[in-house]
Structure 1
Amino acid sequence: MPIWLEASIRSASILIGLFIITRMLGKKQLSKLSFFEYIVGITVGDIAAAMSVDLSINLREGIPSILIWSLVPVAVSYISLKNKKFRDFVEGNSTVFIKNGKVLEDNLKKEKYTIDELMEQLRKKDVFRLADVEFAVLEPNGDLNVLLKREKQPLAVGDVFPNAPNEKEPQTVIMDGKILDEPLSTAGLNRRWLQMELEKQGVTLENVFIAQVDSYGQLTADLYDDKIQIPEASEKQLLLAALKKVEADFEIFALETKAEEAKAMYQKNAEKIRNLLAKVEPLLKN
């Protein structure tokens, strides 16, 4: 067998094997690595690279090494789930750097962290004054999490409106010029509504790269042709879309509810919104 062909077969086989091992180890390996997992990843990669290019290495000798280095993290992860002391030993503990607005110098020295490095990490969190920080902790994976003092925290909707309704996730209803029926149904809408909204914006389905519907029933679309400008919806149009969404929600609730009393209530409210729309829609369209 030619050397290039043998090397290609070995490399492809090892790549497939590493892919399977990575799937076994889970998604955590791809995002938040502990020190142990970091060492394992480097070692397995080195062994695989050596087996791919060094044809003098027998696969029977290399595969057991990869399996041992790969299966040990699986065992460690399983034990860590069951035993907190073992998990703390393997992954480490978080270290508090700032508590009650005061920097803990001893903890900085323990983690070999300089004040310059701490300030750098704070700036990455958009924090430029130590006096604004109430609590800061260094996580085992090296991330620094920061809690600002109450008066320095950004204003949230819940601070102004304690009973504000929950925001639903936007639904992607068009992708690559094709309608996605399941997200559209989840939003309580249909293809006819979607086609009408596209016509209002003066675009065709085939020219839409991606389109989403927010929790208020407002459609936003990104086109293949970036030169085409889609007019932004006015406040009147947004209000009209919100009313139509409320009507659709009541109708869905009426269909999904089995209790007759609740079903009648939803149908009655849907009819009220429908009557209201008949009166205000001509005004909101202008």
Structure 2
Amino acid sequence: MSLNYSLAFNTDELIDWLAAKGVDSEDCAKIRNAKFRGASFIRIEKEEHFKELGIPLGARLHLEDLIREAKEEAKVTVPTTQPPQSVQAPTKTLGPVNGNLSASNLCRELNSLIEWRKLAIGLNLGSSVMEKIRRNHPQDIDDQKLALFGYIEKNSRSLGITWATICEALEDFEGNLAFLLRQKYCGVERLLSSSSDPGYEVGMTIVEDPNQLGLRHLRPIHDATYDVRSKWRSFGLELDLDPPSLEAIDTRYRGDPSECFRAILEMWLQKDKDSPSFPTLLSALRSPPVGYAGLARTIEKMDDDKKKKIGFHL
């Protein structure tokens, strides 16, 4: 039995792929019970993450090898961030840009996106496309997003879809995400029609508060604070996320601590009001409901070289 790995695998298809790759039935059952799908399985980066499922070391190492193989088959790539360039004149429409519009890369870059229908509308994909996606994947929003990304990959050239047009479509409802993607793929700063936003001026590069955090810090913050995942709800409240949002995350990820923890960090790092900051992160770790003052001290005492190395720009 041979299967090419796909991010669109549901749980049963993922298990079939693992079985074909020599993972024994007992370990496959544990992965099935954890409700992994193609997109979530490929996000595991270290074999230790399978330890919580009770999978032995040898099998965990084999799974780590399979994830590397899956990434190769799915052609997951990490685009290089382009250095900011100054903008000569404000304009909303950007020219065509080259970028990786594969379904796997779209999944990685737009992982936090919930309102996929708004993106589809912004790209003028039409109601028939959205209806077909909903009909084929009536229950799971992640599967709906993967179907949309697959459609974009297949039709981007004929429809003239680029990262620039995606950013324009995101602008009205995911402004922070649009800004970050525009920096990465379009090679320019966010373009403004006025200089009213603090920290920005038309025609100039961004001057950032050195303590301010954003989505570019997701990976280092996630890795540095991963031990807090079991208290993700308390951590989210201390980061001033509202309870209904936390309930929605809990429902979406079925209470999985690792997934919920990552989701609250993504949500916090995208906040416009009371911008995420390094002091706020440390204060949340020290709060009694979270109780990780020691971890806060460890992060705070890192020397500047180590902070820069792991991605904290202070």
Relative to the length of structure 2, the TM-score reads 0.20
Greater relative contact order (Cα < 8 A, sep 6+) = 2
Relative to the length of structure 1, the TM-score reads 0.21
Q: Higher Cα Rg: structure 1 or 2?
A: 1
Q: Which is richer in strand? A: 1
